Amino acid sequence: MPRNMSFMLTTQQIVDQTKTVTRRLGWDFLKPGDVLNACEKCQGMRKGHKIVRLGQIRVISTAWEPLRNITYEECVREGFPDMAPEDFVTFFCEHNNCAPNTYVNRIAFEYCKPKCDIIRS
């Protein structure tokens, strides 16, 4: 069974399939070809709540790079076409308690199906 990866802050981008890159602190074990369950939320769930799977994604590539190096084109791939790179860095740092010079794992992926099917388990 594939591992779950949370897309709590970008759920709609996953559903719309406009996001093809994610940046993470960690996830250094991933390799091209790995399949993951894209989920709405995976941790910190209240008792009785179930994981909502948004679909499956396949890792294309991973690379460690400074967060501050993000470009406008990468903001688009992250699912934020209206966000400037410096705004994305601020957004990421606020939600991940890190600094702009932090090295992050840039994970490029593709969708396993043309449309995401929400699966409640």
Question: pLDDT band at 117, cuts 50/70/90?
Answer: low
Q: What is the pTM of this model?
A: 0.88
Whole-number pLDDT of residue 51: 83
Would you say how long the chain is, in residues?
121
Q: Measured between alpha carbons, how far is 103 from 101 in angstroms, rounded to an integer?
A: 6
The 3-state DSSP class for residue 30 equals coil
The correct answer on CATH 3.10.400.10 for the domain covering 3-120 is yes
Q: Which residues pair with 62 in a beta bridge?
A: 107
Q: Is 55 left (phi over 0), alpha (psi -120 to 50) or beta?
A: left
Confidence bin at 114 (pLDDT 50/70/90): low
Dump pLDDT digits (tens) for 37-61.
999 987 666 776 788 899 999 999 9
Residues whose CB falls within 8 Å of the CB of residue 52, separated by 6 or more in sequence, listed in order: 39, 40, 41, 118, 119, 120
Residue 28 is given by DSSP the state T
So where are the chain's domains?
A: 3-120
